[in-house]
Amino acid sequence: MISPPDNPLDDHKIYMAKALDQARAAYEEGEVPVGAVIVHGGRIIAEAHNQREALNDPTAHAEMIAITQAAEALESWRLLDCVLYVTLEPCPMCAGAIVQARIPAVTYGTTDPKAGACQSLYTITSDPRLNHQSTIVGGILMEECRDLLRQFFAEQRALGKK
């Protein structure tokens, strides 16, 4: 268990660093390097990274896997009092799952101008027409999160992939 510091920004950096560890694991496995952790009561209850290639599953995003793990840990689909930390702004699918899971807070590293569904392209997680909204904090360890993704895609392009 990580003891949270007094400064919320320090909390965000600590947990985002854990999400980055997951993103690096994805990178090493040839997956798009996105990592996620879910925190409840100052304790990490879920850690995941993208596994779409390994599982041949288009829904195997880091957030989706972490949400499933957290629901199992709490024995509830309602992830109240949780914070999701993810290295890349969630896509529409993941944003929908965040709303359905009632996650009250999402903190992400870097924006996704092509598919971001929390602030960049869509605002699904804060849409007042839906039955749940999340507080969104973006830009935590942004450079590290962004640079890891850029490096991965540059390597993939050099190999003629993605």
CATH superfamily of 17-138: Cytidine Deaminase, domain 2 (3.40.140.10)
Report whether 94 belongs to an annotated binding site: yes
Report whether 82 belongs to an annotated binding site: no
Q: What is the pLDDT of residue 156?
A: 92
Q: What is the pLDDT of residue 71?
A: 98
Phi, psi of 107 (to 5 degrees): -120, 125
Return the H-helix or E-strand segment holding 48.
strand 43-49
Q: Is 72 a catalytic residue?
A: no
Question: SS3 of 152, please?
Answer: helix
- Given the residues 47, 63, 72, 144, the one annotated as active site: 63
Q: What is the pLDDT of residue 9?
A: 72
| 117, 89 contact by CB (below 8 A) | yes
Distance CA 161, CA 139 (A): 28
Q: What is the pLDDT of residue 8?
A: 67
Q: What is the pLDDT of residue 2?
A: 40
Question: How many Å is the Cα radius of gyration of the chain?
Answer: 15
Spans of the chain below 50 pLDDT:
1-5
Distance CA 106, CA 83 (A): 6
Report whether 91 belongs to an annotated binding site: yes
Q: What is the pLDDT of residue 48?
A: 98
| 33, 148 contact by CB (below 8 A) | yes
Nearest to 39 by CA among 90, 89, 86: 86
